[in-house]
Structures are given as structure tokens and as C-alpha cells.
Amino acid sequence: MFSFFGRRVNFEMSLCCFQRNFSAALPSLVPVSLPSKKETHLWYVLPDEVKSETLLNQYLEILSPYEKESIYRMHGHQLKKSALLARALVRTTIARYQTNCQINPRSLKFRKNIYGKPEVDWQNDDDWCPPPLHFNISHTSSLVACGVTVDVPIGIDVEEKQRRIKNNILAFAKRYFSHEELQLLASVADPEIQHQEFIKLWTLKVGQEAYVKALGRGFSAAPFKTFTIWTRVETTGDFQHFEALDSEASEIVVESSDDPENLTNNWKFALLDLAGSHYAAICVEKDNSIGGETNAPMSLAVWKTVPFVEDERVSGTGAVVAIGGSVKQF
Amino acid sequence: MAAFSATSVTFASSLKLSLKNNVITERTSNLKMVTVGWRKSSFPSLKTNRFRVSCAAKPETVQKVCDIVRKQLALPAETQLTSESKFVDLGADSLDTVEIVMTLEEEFEISVEEDSSQNITTVQEAADLIEKLVEKKAA
């Protein structure tokens, strides 16, 4: 399949060749307007839908040498492919949000903040103001996703619904989740549902961690244990776990055990069933400067894409089902 | 510092190595001149090798870690696993790493601190940490 991944020499030779042939004719990307401050955009790629070697070469072409090295180090074609798609998705997605001029996805540079969160390192042009774009990527071997916001940090995580847990779920929860979450999981009788709830909780926590990293803050030593994720049903104000939820009018909140009286309300969460195969958690900051914002649902637009080939807006379709948090798809 | 305590025999062979790699023609150069001529990279590899030999985990521990990692990540038989293998390059995400740590804790009857578990990125690091904790427990 990927003959160029085999031998390093061939790899570098093909690279030079591509640079000569492709640099002038970069395939186009359908431009998209920046999300407004209240909106969140989510883009995803299904690796199984990307089969063309030519296309994969084009993706490789837009990466930096460092990114290519990282991909080269991965073991196995599947891993290399999803890693490649992750980088290609970030670059092409950010390049779509053009402001004054066309952004070549290959020209984008990235850096990490002190907590290891990747961010765009905009190259400063004197009269060009970089867009206040925030992004976060997450991927499994069967889905690659990129969330985008403006002005506010975003954290996302995607997990396969069917992902097997090798350890005993309750032992795991006892070790890594909060006491309340352990109780919650322990109260679920059906092992399949317990498994689902576990994955949902994990996805939310990892999504939140990604968000906190975006803020430039790290977690304390035992992050997961000090935060409990609850779903509060808006109408009654009662706390329930996900299974009991039968409407979208809910809010996911985080309770810190260090400060139990104060439910941390700075964040908005959404939990989605994505493409029928994955749970996706999105965590963004609430912009309290906008009036009436505090309890507004997360405005979310979702696209399924094969960069350079096709984009499909899938928000509001069966591909995106909100299963937690208050979400308004558009 | 370990590099400097090398015997003259070792030193001579390293000297030969540096001569091959660098453009030093004067074989009778004194120590100071040769030192300057040595490539930066030759120092760290010398030092690290010595360091590793004295502090590395037992091969059996490394092997056990490899087995656990292989199982957790469901690696195909042909995937080569060495002590230097990085978990991320093997496709491990945060849940995998946490699961691996849990399994290692059970297998070796140790308890890993949260801070330490975040620093485990390769098989070797996991094995080294395990041995350290096992030793501490025995003490």
C-alpha cells in the first residue's frame, strides 16, 4: 500500500519529486467563514474513505519535515495513515478560514504551549492580523477530528464506542475517576451500558483536559479524580447520569472536589454520537461577555470531509447525535 | 564524567573513531586538541551507554513490559518492540497508557504516582520505574 513508507531513501527521493511537481499546483480547498464567537466548528475524516495513494501523497506534501518524521516513526500502515490524516486535517482546515489572503496549508507553522498543547505559530506579516483561531485535534484509527473556535480555547476528544477496556471498569474508575463517578458506574447493572457510560465519561474528561491545556494551565497531579462530570437536567435541576437523559435540554457541569460548593461553570460541554461509531466530547469556554450567554446551548456546525476532494455538512443529520450537553446544530 | 574515566585502551579506540568521523589529520594531537575536534554527538552516546549499563532495568522486566504493551495495544506479531519503542509511535493514546500503567501495577504489585505515570513514554522508562518502585517496596 504505502510503498514510500518502506525505505527511507525512496521516501526522501519521492519527496523531492513531489515538491517539484506539486508545489505550483496545490489542490483547492473550499473556503469557510470563521465561526462567530458563539459557534464551534467540527471537521472529521473517516480514514476508511481515503483510499487513493495519490491523495495520501498530496497530504504528505503539505506537512512539515518534522511532522513527516513523526509519521515515519509510527509502526504500521494504519497508524501512519491516521497520523497523516490528522496533520493534513489540521492544516487544511485552518487554511480554509482565509481572512485577507489565501493560506497555503503547507506554510502553516505550529508550536506547543508549555503544557504541550499545539497551537498555530502565525508568521507575522506587518499589515496582517492573524485570526484568533483556536483548534484541537483528536483521532482514533477510524476517525480523525478537528474542532475550531474563535477567541475561546477548545478541547476535544474522540473515542471508539466499541473500544475494549482490558482492565476491570470499576477497578479503573476507582483508580482514576472521582468517587461520585465510581458510584455512578457501579450502579449500572448491564455491562454493555456500563461500558458505554465509562467511555462517555472518559471522553469527556480527556476533552476537558485538552481544553485546560489550551488555557495554558496544567492539571494538578491527579486531575481526573478531582473533577466530577455531572449532567444537570435544566428543567428540574436534578443531577443524573447519561442513561437517564432523554432530552437534549441538559447541561454538563464539572464539580471540583477541591471546591464542591462552586460548580465550575466556565465551560460548555457537548457529548456527541459521531458517525455512529464514536463518542466525541467538545469542551469550550463560555464567553461571559456576550449577554445571555451563560445558559445558551453550544452552537455547533459539523462537516465530514476528505480534504481537497469533498466536504459534506452533516450537522443535524444522523451522523451527529447530541447525547449530552446542550447543543444546537446548525 | 564517566567518559573521562575510560581506560587508555578504550580511549584509543574512541580516538580512532573520532578520527574517522572528523577531519583531524594529526594523530599525535594532544588531548585538548582532539577534544575540540570531537563531534558533539560522540560525547552523549558514550556517556549514555555507560550510564545505561549501570542503571538499566533487568531484561526480564523489560520483556514483561513489552508483553503487556503488546497485549494492550493488540500489536501484530510482526511489529518490532524494543526497549526504546515509544508508546505513541505504537499507537497508544492516553487511555492505553493509563491501562498499561494499571496492568503493570497489578503485575508487579506496585503503585505508580500520577506524576510518574505521565513521564512513562517508552518501554525502557516503564521498566526503570518499575524496578525503582519494586526496590523501594523491598527496602
Domains and CATH numbers, chain B: 3-42 (no CATH), 59-138 (1.10.1200.10)
Q: What is the pLDDT of residue A267?
A: 77
- Does position B27 have pLDDT exceeding 70, yes or no? no
Beta bridge partners of A280: A158, A272
- Does position B42 have pLDDT exceeding 70, yes or no? no
Closest Cα partner for A81 from A60, A103, A108?
A: A60
A276: its cell numbers: 455512529
Residues of chain A contacting residue B80, judged by C-beta atoms under 8 Å apart: 75
Chain A contact for B71, CB < 8 A? Answer: yes
Q: Does an H or E element contain A134, and which? A: strand A133-139
Q: Within 13 Å of residue A195, how many CA atoms lie on the same side as its CB?
A: 13
Tell me: the pLDDT tens digits for A113-172? 777 778 888 876 666 677 788 999 999 999 999 999 998 888 899 999 999 898 899 998
Query: Which residue type, as a one-letter code, is found at position A19?
Result: Q
CA–CA gap between residue B30 and residue A268 (Å, rounded)? 68
Q: Which of A 82-111 lie inside 8 A of B, CB atoms?
A: none
CB atoms within 10 A of CB A30: 11
Closest Cα partner for A308 from A105, A68, A6?
A: A105
Chain A contact for B84, CB < 8 A? Answer: no
Q: Within 13 Å of residue A300, how many CA atoms lie on the same side as its CB?
A: 32
B49: its cell numbers: 551507554
Closest Cα partner for A267 from A284, A287, A250?
A: A284
User: In whole angstroms, what separates CA A23 from the centre of its chain?
Assistant: 29
Average pLDDT over residues B28-55: 42
DSSP SS3 for A6: helix
Residues of chain B contacting residue A76, judged by C-beta atoms under 8 Å apart: 76, 79, 91
**Which residue do the cell numbers 480547498 mark?**
A29
Q: What is the pLDDT of residue A225?
A: 59
CA–CA gap between residue A149 and residue A147 (Å, rounded)? 7
pLDDT mean for each 10 residues of chain A (330 residues): 44 39 62 88 97 95 94 92 96 83 83 80 71 89 95 90 92 85 90 92 81 56 56 49 45 62 66 95 77 74 96 96 90
Q: State pTM to two decimals.
A: 0.76
A210: left (phi over 0), alpha (psi -120 to 50) or beta: alpha
Interface residue of A5, A78, A167 to substitute, partner B, most B CBs within 10 Å:
A167
**Cβ within 8 Å, pair A167-B99:** yes
Tell me: the pLDDT tens digits for B49-88? 444 444 678 889 999 999 999 999 999 888 889 999 999 8
First-to-last C-alpha distance (Å) of chain B: 29
Residue B94, judged by CB atoms within 10 A of its CB (0-12, 13-18, 19+), counts as: middle
Q: What is the pLDDT of residue A111?
A: 87
**Cβ within 8 Å, pair B75-A75:** yes
Picking from B89, B94, B103, the nearest residue to A75 by CB comes out as B89
Interface residue of A68, A75, A77, A200 to substitute, partner B, most B CBs within 10 Å:
A75
User: In whole angstroms, what separates CA A293 from the centre of its chain?
Assistant: 23
Picking from B71, B75, B102, the nearest residue to A172 by CB comes out as B102
Chain B contact for A69, CB < 8 A? Answer: no
Picking from B80, B91, B94, the nearest residue to A79 by CB comes out as B91
Q: What is the pLDDT of residue A116?
A: 73
Cβ proximity of A184 and A255 under 8 Å: no
CA–CA gap between residue A133 and residue A32 (Å, rounded)? 13
Q: What is the pLDDT of residue B50?
A: 42
Residue A127 has phi, psi (to 5 degrees) of -105, 25
Q: What is the pLDDT of residue A210?
A: 73
Cβ proximity of A141 and A133 under 8 Å: no
Closest Cα partner for B96 from A140, A221, A83, A48?
A: A140
Q: How far is CA A57 from CA A2, A60, A73, A213, in A?
A: 9, 5, 17, 32
A183: its cell numbers: 458510584
Tell me: the pLDDT tens digits for B91-137? 998 889 889 999 999 999 998 887 777 778 899 999 999 999 998 88
Residues of chain A contacting residue B76, judged by C-beta atoms under 8 Å apart: 76
Parallel, antiparallel, or unpaired: how do β-strands A298-306 and A39-45 relate?
Answer: parallel
Q: What is the pLDDT of residue A213?
A: 65
**Closest residue of chain B to A223, computed from CA coordinates:** B114
Instruction: Confirm whether B89 is a catalytic residue.
Output: no
Chain B contact for A159, CB < 8 A? Answer: yes
Q: Which residues contact A77 (CB under 8 A, 6 or more apart)?
A: A1, A2, A5
Q: What is the pLDDT of residue A291?
A: 56
Query: Which residue type, as a one-letter code, is found at position A304?
Result: K
